[in-house]
């Protein structure tokens, strides 16, 4: 209760030191409480409410506090609550990040064993063997899980302020789109149609741009009208290449459009689908890391189009 003392000289230096010490104690308290299992922010704040009541009761046993004194106590405790709550949230986030990175890393091991075993099994089976299609589906499932794990790791990096690790090289966007469409046609049937007016080159991380194309194309399968074609169209301009992934089906509502590219946010249509709600968030992050843009157009009777625009290299 040094704040209330009339014997301590309240110099600017003393005020600054007291404030720093108060902040340190508040943060330490928030950090310690976040380390307890089943301890919530509500409980943390309730502790300070109790502290305020106890302080008032003890100090007023001798004489009522003046308004100035009560204001000083309330202000000090409110600042302590803010410091503790901020550190509590930060510590919880750090714990969650460590857990996520550890979990995703540990999952990779057994998944790689399953994938290698499935690949060896598939090589030994005849193409017409009914078990071959089952093993192929297993491999696709493993690839999807690996993709989800990579999404979690990348989202974790982005939240912690890191940038995605990209290795740029000269790429043909036309070749990337054709390769993705060929793979998806093998998995989902002949539903993907490529319309290309260009073989212009871009500077890109081949793996990550392929990931963007796969994400948009598989989303079209998940949320588009079944048994209708999905069109991947490439169009050049003087400085850019535009990739449009279009599917038929119900339009995306205005409300859903506003959260499409946010991490861990899922539209109503996506609630029954597997995933973390990270695909479009990461697709946007990857495209922007390539100095490009991504947007969506969706309307009744016109279907849905995701449009990616990337800078092209000079011809």
Q: What is the pLDDT of residues 131-179, one digit of tens each?
A: 777 777 777 777 777 777 776 777 766 766 666 778 899 999 999 999 8
pLDDT score recorded for residue 270: 47
Q: According to the model, what pLDDT value does residue 105 have? A: 66
As a whole number of angstroms, the distance between CA 120 and CA 124 comes to: 7
Give the C-alpha separation, 186 to 163, whole Å.
34
Global pTM value: 0.57
Q: Under CATH, what is the fold of the domain 169-311?
A: Heat Shock Protein 90 (3.30.565)
Mean pLDDT per block of 10 residues along the chain (315 residues) reads 49 66 74 72 80 81 80 81 81 69 70 79 73 76 74 69 78 91 82 86 90 90 90 92 93 81 55 58 89 92 93 85
Extract the tokens encoding 141.
Answer: 């499932």
Please report the pLDDT score of residue 8 as a whole number.
47
Which residue in this structure is represented by tokens 């339009």?
A: 251
How confident is the model at residue 162, as a pLDDT? 65
Residue 108 neighbours by CB under 8 Å, 6+ apart: 146, 149
Return the bridge partners of 63, or none. Answer: none
Predicted local confidence at residue 60, as pLDDT = 79
Cα–Cα distance for residue pair 171/200, rounded to 1 Å: 9
CB atoms closer than 10 angstroms to residue 96 = 12
Provide the phi-psi class of 66: left if phi over 0, else alpha when psi is between -120 and 50, else beta.
beta
């Amino acid at each position: 209760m040094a704040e209330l003392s009339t014997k301590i000289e309240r110099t600017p230096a003393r005020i600054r030191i007291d404030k720093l010490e108060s902040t340190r104690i508040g943060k330490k308290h928030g950090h310690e409480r976040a380390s307890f299992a089943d301890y919530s922010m509500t409980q943390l704040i309730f502790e300070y409410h109790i502290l305020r009541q106890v302080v008032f009761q003890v100090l007023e046993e001798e004489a009522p506090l003046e308004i100035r004194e009560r204001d000083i106590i309330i202000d000090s405790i409110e600042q302590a609550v803010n410091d503790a709550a901020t550190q509590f949230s930060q510590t919880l986030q750090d714990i969650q990040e460590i857990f996520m990175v550890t979990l995703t890393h540990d999952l990779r091991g057994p998944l790689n064993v399953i994938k290698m075993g499935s690949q060896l099994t598939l090589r030994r089976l005849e193409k017409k063997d009914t078990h071959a299609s089952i093993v192929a589906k297993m491999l696709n499932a493993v690839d999807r899980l690996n993709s989800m794990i990579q999404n979690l790791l990348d989202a974790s990096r982005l939240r912690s302020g890191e940038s995605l690790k990209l290795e740029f090289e000269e790429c043909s966007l036309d070749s990337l789109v054709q390769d993705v469409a060929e793979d998806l046609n093998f998995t989902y049937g002949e539903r993907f149609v490529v319309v290309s007016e260009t073989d212009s080159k871009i500077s890109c991380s081949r793996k990550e741009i392929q990931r963007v194309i796969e994400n948009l194309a598989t989303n079209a399968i998940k949320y588009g009208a079944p048994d209708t074609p999905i069109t991947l169209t490439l169009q050049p301009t003087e400085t850019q290449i535009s990739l449009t992934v279009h599917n038929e089906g119900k339009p995306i509502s205005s409300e859903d459009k506003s959260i499409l590219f946010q991490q861990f946010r899922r539209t109503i249509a996506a609630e029954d689908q597997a995933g973390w709600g990270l695909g479009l968030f990461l697709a946007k992050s990857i495209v922007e890391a390539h100095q490009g843009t991504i947007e969506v157009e969706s309307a009744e009777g016109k279907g849905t189009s995701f449009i990616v625009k990337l800078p092209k290299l000079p011809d």
